[in-house]
């Protein structure tokens, strides 16, 4: 179930990465998705058999996980399998401390992938793009949550993708121009949230923070603040800079 949860992130990671490529010009590579496409479909067809320890189902699981790793060899980056959803899981592992439920990385990624899918699909359902403002950064709060040394590292990463007023205005102009096209481009990457949830549940994996054993307050903190950890631009960043992320996170538990 943990392995499948790590595979489930493909759609949300691809949406985040393509969006970043189109709006910010970051590098994007299709090869990692192409080499695992057929095996991903075969794995999803057999997802429920993972819980039965079916050999064929586990074979496809290992193939998809291996091919995802091989994608890094082709591109030199892990973006195709690690965007907003992995940041949520990383935040849990780095900052939960004694609050950590002892869950596996992939199990957390599965739940976080559902969170990212809900956020992405809700935002993309609107024919009007969000409007961002200059990025709000609270170094003191980062120190409180992360420790001084770690907060300094994360602050350096966050500043690389933060918007000042001029950058926010330029981004909004680009977003307004591209939004109708971007919505259409992202549709083929998307897996409906209900289908993702059905697949994950069929493997025996948790489908919510409550089922993970993570407290609602800490999981919401992870959703809101995990973007501070890494210079990878995702829908978490757009939602945060548009003033939408905290309201969205209140519905995640």
DSSP string, the chain: -HHHHHHTTHHHHHHHHHHHHHHH-----SHHHHHHHHHHHHHHHTHHHHTTT-HHHHHHHHHHHHHHHHHHHHHS--GGG-SHHHHHHHHHHHH-GGG-----HHHHHHHHHHHHHHHHHHHHT-SS-----SPP--HHHHHHHH-HHHHHHHHHHHHHH---HHHHHHHHHHHHHHHHHHHHHHGGG---HHHHHHHHHHTT---SHHHHT--HHHHHHHHHHGGGG-S---HHHHHHHTT-HHHHHTT--
Please write the tens of the pLDDT for every residue from 145-161.
Answer: 999 999 999 999 999 99
Please write the tens of the pLDDT for every residue from 98-142.
Answer: 999 999 999 999 999 999 999 999 999 999 999 999 999 999 999
pLDDT in tens, the chain (253 residues): 999 999 999 999 999 999 999 999 999 999 999 999 999 999 999 999 999 999 999 999 999 999 999 999 999 999 999 999 999 999 999 999 999 999 999 999 999 999 999 999 999 999 999 999 999 999 999 999 999 999 999 999 999 999 999 999 999 999 999 999 999 999 999 999 999 999 999 999 999 999 999 999 999 999 999 999 999 999 999 999 999 999 999 999 8
Structural domains in the chain, CATH included, are 2-249 (1.20.1090.10)
């Amino acid at each position: 179930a943990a392995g499948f949860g790590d595979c489930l992130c493909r759609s949300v990671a691809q949406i985040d990465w393509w969006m970043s490529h189109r709006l910010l010009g970051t590098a994007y590579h299709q090869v990692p998705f192409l080499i695992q496409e057929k095996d991903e479909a075969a794995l999803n067809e057999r997802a429920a058999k993972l819980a039965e320890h079916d050999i064929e189902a586990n074979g496809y699981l290992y193939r998809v996980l291996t091919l995802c790793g091989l994608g890094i060899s082709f591109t030199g980056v892990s973006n195709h399998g690690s965007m907003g959803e992995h940041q949520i899981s990383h935040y849990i592992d780095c900052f939960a401390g004694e609050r950590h439920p002892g869950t596996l990385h992939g199990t957390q990624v599965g739940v976080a992938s559902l969170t990212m899918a809900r956020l992405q699909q809700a935002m993309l359902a609107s024919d009007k793009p969000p409007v961002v403002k200059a990025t709000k950064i609270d170094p003191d709060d980062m120190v409180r949550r992360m420790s001084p040394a770690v907060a300094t590292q994360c602050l350096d990463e966050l500043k690389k993708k933060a918007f000042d007023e001029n950058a926010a205005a330029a981004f909004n102009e680009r977003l307004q121009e591209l939004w109708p096209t971007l919505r259409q481009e992202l549709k083929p990457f998307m897996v409906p949230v209900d289908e993702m949830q059905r697949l994950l549940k069929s493997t025996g994996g948790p489908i919510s923070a409550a089922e993970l054993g993570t407290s609602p307050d800490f999981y919401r903190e992870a959703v809101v603040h995990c973007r501070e950890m890494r210079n990878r631009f995702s829908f978490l960043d757009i939602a945060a800079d548009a003033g939408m992320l905290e309201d969205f996170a209140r519905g995640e538990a």
